[in-house]
Amino acid sequence: MFKITPNPPNTPDLKLQKAAQRALDHYLNPATDTVPLFSVTSGISNEILIANSYETVSSVSTLLLHLSDELTGKDRDVALAIHQLNELSVLLIGKLMDRETPV
């Protein structure tokens, strides 16, 4: 019988083996000395954390409303549902601000 495909090479492909080992190490042996991309300074006050959280969530709300204006159908419904959940977060953080930072 005639074989259409050639036999595999007798020597292993070192470049392929190294790439496979890197991929396995990445998922099975993650490095523990990685530095986070974003961090929050320790010792920062609760008021600053709450205020920045409120501003961030409010910004997401604005972005979602702007996005929903550009969408139609099911995609618009999904964006508005996310906006509604985000608005709940705005209310919750607002209530926390009122409790933690009274006037």
The count of other CB atoms within 10 Å of the CB of residue 64 is: 19
**Three-point CA angle 90, 94, 99, nearest 5°:** 155
For 65-95, b/e burial (b = at least 16 CB within 10 A) is eeebeeeeeeeeeebeeebeebbebeeebee
Beta strands in the chain (DSSP E): none
* Contact status, residue 42 vs residue 68, Cβ threshold 8 Å: no
pLDDT digits (tens, 9 = 90+) for 48-83: 888 899 999 999 999 999 999 999 999 999 999 999
pTM: 0.56
Q: Which residue did the predictor score with more confidence, 101 or 89?
A: 89
Which residue segment(s) compose the domain that 88 sits in?
A: 44-103
CA angle, corner 78, sides to 77 and 84, nearest 5? 90
| Pick from 56, 65, 59: nearest CA to 84 | 65
Name the average pLDDT for the chain.
Answer: 85
Bigger pLDDT: 55 vs 27:
55
Instruction: Tell me if 8 is assigned to some domain.
Output: no
- What total number of domains does the chain contain? 1
pLDDT on residue 1: 67
Is 13 a domain residue?
no
